Structure 1
């Protein structure tokens, strides 16, 4: 039998907050599907032995997201283009950056709110907002609204579904599926990072070999 209590005691509210902060604060948590994490946390909070009360989840998770947004915004505003050329951004890929920039050009400041509900885009939105020198007051306004709508909304949705008898009766199975949904994308993302790093090293060796041949001639 899958031991839900051990999972909750080892992961806990603090662990969720750290992952949510990392997602936008230091651009690492993008490998975790935050939506699944929050939804599963809400379901667990509706169990007979919740690892944290619903009110604590609905308060602490959005706060962690807001703090992460502020750190991501500050990184973009302070380091600008250098942040876009960082190794982490290379791992995420240029397509995600382009997609986020397109959101800003289309929706403006409202993007900060919309981005919260779109995986990867929510990781980059604070950074791009900082690089674009979006006023911090406007960024903070939309960030707070988006973080609480996303963080509390998805958690409450999971909590309400956790009160349904079918969901409650098969909670162990749902937890296993939820954990799998968290870990599988992580494994895929890490594998892609490794393949990308290998291609970069191979291309570098080929360029180095080409330069050496040119010098010999």
Structure 2
């Protein structure tokens, strides 16, 4: 992640917006979330805003807009390809979680679109499943926009305050302390990702007969 941060910080402002927006968009529109997590890109965009590399307001707008547009594209894709998208190699190995996501839509309806925005695997998959479930687009768009707004603001805000703290400490205490703070942030994100994956694996085991 530190390498990605350095690469993004080496770009000019417009390119940072473009790269972060593209990753967030592709996560939901093209199922790239399995290899390019939009959450990571949004947080790193906020970090760069906290360091003064880009505007926090514009990076937030880009993240929210890309999230909503990506979900809408994922929803529309299912009208063209139907359930054939679920037969791809990546998704065939996750059939148990797909079934759980479908049950979630059946139980919660459009609210599942909002909730899924905060769960990594479901964030990339829920728009397509919503389209397959014949959920009316206007209803989908409402919960998609609410989820994208809350998720985008929270992720960029988390990164922004971390980046701002890094800049303040660097100027007062020195590079060593600033790097220690950044390392702690990266470790916290890594632990969070590990626990999330561990929980998903535990969920798969619980689903087995």
Same fold by TM (over 0.5)?
yes
Q: CA deviation at 1:176?
A: 9.8
Take 1:154 and 1:70, find their aligned partners in 2: how far apart are those partners?
20
Deviation at 1:71, TM superposition (A): 1.1
Cα RMSD of the aligned pairs, angstroms, is: 3.0
Equivalent position to 1:78, from 77, 80, 86: 80
For the 8 Å contact 1:20–1:65, the answer to whether it is kept is yes
Deviations 1:49-89, CA, capped at 9 Å, x for gaps: 41x20011110111111111111101223322212113342
Unaligned runs of 5+ in 2: 171-176, 194-209
Give 2:27's aligned residue: 23
Q: Say if 1:40 and 1:175, in contact at 8 Å, map to a contact too.
A: no
In the alignment, which residue of structure 2 is the partner of 1:215?
A: none
Alignment TM-score, normalising by the size of structure 1: 0.71
- Which residue does 2:200 correspond to in 1? none
Find the aligned partners of 2:62 and 2:127 in 1 and give their Cα distance. 19
Higher relative contact order, chain-length normalized (CA < 8 Å, sep 6+)? 1
Q: Deviations over 1:100-139 (max 9, x none)?
A: 1122122210011111100010111000000001000000
- Of residues 41, 47, 56, the one that matches 1:54 is 56
Q: Which runs of 5+ in 1 are unaligned?
A: 186-217
TM-score, normalising length: structure 2? 0.73
CA contact (8 A) 2:166 2:178 kept: no
Instruction: Give the Cα–Cα distance (whole angstroms) in 1 for the partners of residues 86 and 61 of structure 2.
Output: 31
- Structure of larger gyration radius: 1
